Amino acid sequence: MENRQLSRRGLLAAGGATLGSLALGGAAKAKEAPAAAVAIARCRSYERAPVEQSLRSMFDRIGGIGSLVKNKTVAIKLNLTGQPQRFPIDPALPYRSEPNTVLATAQLIARAGARRIRIIETFFPAGQDMALWARYQLDIDAINNVGCKVEWENGQNMGQAKQYARMKVPSDPYMYLSYDLNHSFADCDVYVSMSKLKNHWLGGVTMALKNNFGITPCSLYGGDCGTDGNEDPRQERGPVCHNGARKPAAGVAQELHPDSPRDPGYRIPRIVSDLVRARPIDLAIVDGVESIRGGEGAWNPGVQIIKPGVMLAGKNPVCVDAVCMAVMGYDPRADRGTKPFLRGDNTLKLCEAVGVGTTDLTRIEVAGLSVKDAFCDFGPGPTGQKI
C-alpha cells in the first residue's frame, strides 16, 4: 500500500493508454472477455427463511462459495445510496439494501468458513458510529453474531486507518491511472457487491458494476474535498466524478485525458469500469425481490415500486449485470440513445471492451430460474415520468 503523502509531488496524467490504443485493443479484449454462470432464484418475500433459501440455492448453482471465502477476509459492499439527511430512510420505497438480505448473506459466508467479514459502504456523515448503520434498519447484533469476526467501515474517508490505499487500474484506464480508497477495499481477500435491480438516471441501470462507483471516498473525490482532502466531507461526487468541474484532491491521480467530455453520461460509466478493475468484484448479488423502476432513488421524479420477485448471483459482475438486464427486458449490448441508456454510455460494454466479462448472453450459463420465467418489464428506462 502506497502512502499518499509520498505521492503529493505529482501523480498527474503520466502513463496509461491513449484513447486510440483503447479503440484498437477493445474489440480483441471484448472477444476474449470471460464468461461465468449466473444463477437466478425466485424470492417473493424478505422474510428471513425465503431470502436465505434463495441465496443458498444460487450459491450452490454457481459452484459454491466455500472455496472463495474459506479462511478469508470477505468485504461486503452494500447499496445504501442517498444522503439520509436529504432522503430519509423509508422502508416502503425499496431502493436501498434490504436488512434481511444483508444478514442472510453474512450468515452464509460465515458458515462457508470466512475468517472475517467486513461490512462496507460510503455514506454521510463520514463517521464510524454504529448508530449510522443502525438507521438503515440493519440488525447489527445478529450480523455481529453470524459466527466469525465482523467489522464495519464507512469508507467515505480514511476511516479507521492512517492512510488510503492506492489501487491502480491494471491496464487501459479510461479516466484515472489509480484511485485512492479507504483501506477496507484493499485489506480484504474477497470482495462482494450487494446491489439492487434498478434503473439509473444517468447509467441506465445500476446493479453490481455501478455499485462500485460509490467506493470513491468523498474526502478525496467530493465537491468539498479541497486541495489536500477533507476528512469531514459534506458534498457528493458530482463536481469531480460526474461532470469534471473540479479536480480530486491533489495527492491522488489526476485525469489522464482532461480534454475528454465533461458529460456525466460519458464519465460515470468509464469511472465505473476503472473502479471495477482497480477493485475487482469476486461475487455479485443483486436483489430484485422488490425495487423501483424509472430511476435509482427517491430523488428521481416518477419512480415506481416494482416487485420482480427474484434474486441473481454470480462470480463475474458483467455477466451478472447482463443477465439482470435481460430479466428487466433490456439488451445488455444496447448503445447509448436506446433504452435503458437514454443519457449515458453502456457501462457493461465498456467493461467488456477491457476484458472484465462478456455481455454475450449466448456465452453465459443461466442456472436455476430461466430469464423467461424471471422476466419483469422495467419499461423504457429512467425517463423521469410515470411508466
Tell me: the pLDDT tens digits for 86-140? Answer: 898 998 999 999 999 999 999 999 999 999 999 999 999 999 999 999 999 999 9
Cell of 92: 416502503
At 364 the three-state DSSP class reads coil
Whether residue 185 contacts residue 191, with contact meaning beta carbons closer than 8 Å, is answered with yes
In a domain, 383, yes or no: no
Instruction: Work out the burial of residue 125: count CB atoms within 10 Å of its CB; fewer than 13 is exposed, 13-18 middle, 19 or more buried.
Output: middle
CA–CA dist 168, 184 (Å, integer): 15
Q: How far apart are CA 199 and CA 203, in angstroms?
A: 8
pLDDT score of 321 more than 50 = yes
Instruction: Give tens-digit pLDDT for 17-63.
Output: 334 444 445 677 887 899 999 999 999 999 999 999 999 999 999 99
Q: Using CA atoms in the order 176, 167, 346, 283, what is the torsion angle rounded to 10 degrees? A: 180
Q: What is the pLDDT of residues 292-318, one digit of tens each?
A: 999 999 999 999 999 999 999 999 999
For residue 347, give the 3-state DSSP assignment: helix
Residue 240 lies in a domain: yes
Query: Which SS3 state, helix, strand or coil, does residue 290 take?
Result: coil
- With 0-12 / 13-18 / 19 or more C-beta atoms within 10 angstroms meaning exposed / middle / buried, residue 333 is middle
Q: Is the dihedral of CA 79, 219, 190, 208 positive or negative?
A: positive
Cis amide prior to 269 (ω within 30 degrees): no
The span from the CA of 279 to the CA of 273, in Å, is 10
> Quick one: pLDDT band at residue 387, thresholds 50, 70, 90?
low
Domain annotation covers residue 137 = yes
- Residues sharing a CB contact under 8 Å with residue 110, sequence separation 6 or more, in sequence order: 117, 146, 147, 148
Domain of 195 in residue numbering reads as 7-371
Number of domains composing the chain: 1
Residue 378 belongs to a domain: no
Is the model's pLDDT at 14 over the cut of 70? no
Residue 379 within a domain: no
> Computed over its alpha carbons, how large is the radius of gyration of the chain?
19
Q: Is residue 1 part of a domain?
A: no
Residue 146 has pLDDT above 70, yes or no: yes
Q: Please, which residues bridge with residue 193 across strands?
A: 77, 284
Whole-angstrom CA distances from 115 to 4, 52, 98, 172, 359 are: 29, 20, 24, 34, 33
pLDDT at 52: 98
Phi, psi (5° rounding) for residue 77?
Answer: -90, 115
Q: Which three cell numbers stand for residue 164?
A: 488510503
H-helix segments, 62-198: 66-69, 99-111, 130-134, 140-144
What is the C-alpha to C-alpha distance for residues 167 and 146, in angstroms, rounded to an integer?
A: 30
Considering the domain boundaries, does residue 387 fall inside one? no
- Reported as a single tens digit per residue, the pLDDT across 216-250 is 999 999 999 999 999 999 999 999 999 999 999 99
DSSP string, 23-88: HHHHHHHHHH-----EEEEE----SHHHHHHHHHHHHHHTT-SHHHHTTSEEEEE----S-TTTS-
pLDDT in tens, 165-198: 999 999 999 999 999 999 999 999 999 999 999 9
| 114 belongs to a structural domain | yes
> What distance in Å separates the CA atoms of residue 101 and residue 97, rounded to the nearest whole number?
7
Please report, for the chain, how many H helices and E strands are present, in that order: 11, 14
Rounded to 10 degrees, what is the CA torsion of 351, 356, 359, 363? 170
- Residue from 235, 240, 236, 234 nearest 252 by CA: 240
Q: What's the whole-number average pLDDT of the chain?
A: 93
The helix or strand, by DSSP H or E, that contains position 324, with its residue range, turns out to be helix 317-328
Residue, of 147 and 23, whose pLDDT is higher: 147
User: For residue 330, what is the domain's CATH number?
Assistant: 3.40.50.11440
